[in-house]
Amino acid sequence: MSRSPRAARTADDAPPTDWLAELPHELHLRILEGVDDFSDCAAFSLASPRLGLLALRSGLARFKDPLFAVAMRLLLVERFVASLGSSIMDTTLSEDTLRRYAADRRASADHFPWLARVSPALRLTSEVEGAERRAEVWRLLRGENGAQLRLRFLQSGQVKHFEGERGAERMVRTVFANGNVKYYEGEQGAERLVRMELADDGGVEHYEGESGAERLSRAEFANGEEVQYYEGESGAERMVRAEYADGSVQHYEGERGVERLVRMELADDGGVEHYEGESGAERLSRAEFANGEEVQYYEGESGAERMVRAEFATGSVQHYEGEKGADRIVRAVRADGAVAYFEGGQGAERKVRADFPNGEVQFFEGERGAERTVRVVRADGAVAYFEGGQGAERLVRKEFANGKEFPNGGAALLRAPEVRS
């Protein structure tokens, strides 16, 4: 007959490592809510890791406070020292631990008495200084000497954070009441702004230059979709380029505040678009295909640009008419001088006539893609008439010019220009 785990225990069995595990979940939370000392919070979590995780997931304030991590670290050090059987090793908090706590925006001077109790040799202190511009100053105190860690202006709420030993403290970060954060590098008195995190949109700005002359060099959007690049001295930075997550790049010209788009490099097909016009009213003027086979030209105001011409590497040119989105080909000029004329709406343009350099003119009928030659007028005035489908046209009648018979007794059709898509 099998027995339950509880019934199977004997006096020789080892005690359970987590004796709180058998208590109801609701009672766990009631117990944890009653723990108000950070040392006790740490002890509970080490005694029962499952309870510590429950406290964190339940959002209990003491367990989410940055001082809880400090207490955990201290307790682990104390247990390690105890395991060595040493009574002379110092278990005070380290300088790095206290600096990390002071740098946390959630840290509070209300907990400094607890820190002083567990770490009397190295502790944090707080005092209010200044007459007109009063500020709360945090220091890392070892004996009577203390390095400044944090300066909070009571009226504005602005907080400055410092690193370095006493007398050489350098500002590394400033947190503003609106949530913006500025980061600095450099020695005391020469700190320079290198980065700003914006609270409203989550973006990040990067800066270059010496202290007092920092200039914006790059701005990253929070969603990762765009990075903007800037040039120019401090206060006159102008955007020169914007790179997007899809690989496309926009180039700008003009002074700060009136930068205008002049070129866009497309990632999907490698093409390049060129723009003209003032800032905010840039209009597409030219589009170059990556393979060099085609260049398209546009006219019209911003947002209503319509294609008017397309030039091909072969030397042929297509001309368009119509508004944006409905621009249709009306004429195609081949490199040898032959010209074809078209009628019909966009996508349904059909060839109706073709003029050749030798003076011959061909006339066509039929829908796009099925145009057939119906008449040919030679330069000397002779006319030939044709019937039959495209590619199978046959001569059915000839009209003479000046009493002469149609040359060669037949009509060899010249190849007219076609639409390039």
pTM to 2 decimals? 0.76
CA angle 143, 145, 150 (to 5 degrees): 115
Q: Looking at the predicted structure, is the pLDDT value of residue 147 above 70?
A: yes
Mean pLDDT of the chain: 87
Whether the CA torsion 90, 92, 93, 95 is positive or negative: it is negative
Looking at per-residue pLDDT, the higher value among 160 and 69 belongs to 160
Give per-residue pLDDT as tens, 27-45.
Answer: 777 877 888 888 888 887 8
Q: Tokens 């018979």 appear where?
A: 405
pLDDT at 8 over 80: no
Predicted local distance difference test score (pLDDT) of residue 4: 41
Percent of the residues in the chain that have a pLDDT greater than 70, as a whole number: 88
Cβ atoms 206, 195 nearer than 8 A: yes
Q: Going by C-beta distance under 8 Å and a sequence separation of 6 or more, which residues neighbour residue 382?
A: 398, 399, 400, 401, 404, 406, 407
Q: What is the pLDDT of residue 376?
A: 94
- Domain range list for the chain: 15-91, 109-177, 329-421
Residue of 299, 340, 282 whose CA lies nearest to 316: 340
Burial per residue of 194-212, b for 16 or more beta-carbon CB atoms within 10 angstroms, e otherwise: bbbbbeeeebbbbbeeeee
Alpha helix (H) residue ranges in 9-147? 25-33, 38-47, 49-57, 61-64, 66-83, 95-103, 112-118
Decide if pLDDT at 330 tops 80. Answer: yes
Task: Please answer whether residues 151 and 159 qualify as being in contact, where contact means their C-beta atoms are separated by less than 8 angstroms.
Answer: yes
Phi, psi values for residue 337, rounded to 5°: 100, -10
Closest CA to 18 of 52, 59, 42: 52
Task: Give Cα 320 to chain centroid, integer Å.
Answer: 37
Query: For 79-103, how does the pLDDT look when each residue is reduced to its tens digit (9 = 90+)?
Result: 877 777 765 556 678 889 899 999 9
Q: Is the C-alpha dihedral spanning 301, 306, 308, 312 positive or negative?
A: positive
Residue whose pair of structure tokens reads 């060899």 in the numeric block: 412
Task: Give the mean model confidence (pLDDT) for residues 112-119.
Answer: 89
| 8 A C-beta contact, residue 79 and residue 89 | no
Q: Which two tokens stand for residue 321?
A: 């008419």
Rounded to whole angstroms, how far apart are CA atoms 231 and 242?
Answer: 12
Let me know: does 288 contact 299? Beta carbons within 8 Å: no
pLDDT in tens, 235-284: 999 999 999 999 999 999 999 999 999 999 999 999 999 999 999 999 99
What is the DSSP code (8-state) at residue 402? Answer: T
**pLDDT band for position 416 (50/70/90)?**
low
In DSSP terms, 252 is beta-bridged to: 261
* Element (DSSP H or E) covering residue 184: strand 181-185
**Cα-only R_g, the chain:** 41
